[in-house]
Amino acid sequence: RVPPTHVDTLSIAGMSVDMSASMLFSYASEFLEADSVLSTHARERPVRYHLVCHSIELSLKAFLATKGFTIAKMSAKPFGHDLTRTLDTALKHDILAVIPLTPQNIKDIHEANKYYATKTFEYPALLEAITDYPGLPRFTSLREIALVLVDSLQPIHDRLEM
């Protein structure tokens, strides 16, 4: 299997543009939109949790891309699909100056990561399902966080597209 090629910069006619933040933002928006489409047909677990958490992950990485992080770096450890590490890095890079995350939002992202990073939303997890996913934040809370992230990053995305 050939690993994916992560291209962050597009160069045309001597001009170079870093596309990683814009691409990550677009994907974050699309995963959130996919949840909206699915909302009329599916319960709130676990597929919808995965879509919303993936939107959160990609939004956080879009923010980090504006701080110089490459897609290749954010795809590898320690980031990978770890919301806690990605969020903690974004906090160190002053995400709160751009995105109004509350202490409860931050706690909810950390709690959701226990399931998201272990791919519990992607693959059947009988014990977690039977016990109703202990400690998992309400779906509406995570969806609201994803919306805040996407809405707050939209102006940055618009500037990058110019």
pLDDT (tens digit per residue) in 17-67: 456 888 999 999 999 999 999 888 777 788 999 999 999 999 999 999 999
| pLDDT (0 to 100) of residue 95 | 97
More confident residue, 4 or 22: 22
Select the more confidently predicted residue: 42 or 141. 141
Average pLDDT over all residues of the chain: 87
Buried b or exposed e, range 86-95, using 16+ CB within 10 angstroms: bbbbbeebeb
User: Is the previous residue joined to 78 through a cis bond, with omega within 30 degrees of 0?
Assistant: yes
Residue 61: the pLDDT is: 96
Of 114, 91, 92, nearest to 103 by C-alpha is 91
Residues in the chain, overall count? 162
In this prediction, residue 125 has a pLDDT band, given cuts at 50, 70 and 90, of: confident
The Cα 162–Cα 159 span in angstroms is: 5
Predicted confidence (pLDDT) at residue 107 exceeds the cutoff of 90? yes
The residue among 104 and 45 whose pLDDT is bigger is 104
Q: pLDDT at position 115, please? A: 95
pLDDT tens digits, 61-87: 999 999 999 998 998 888 999 999 999
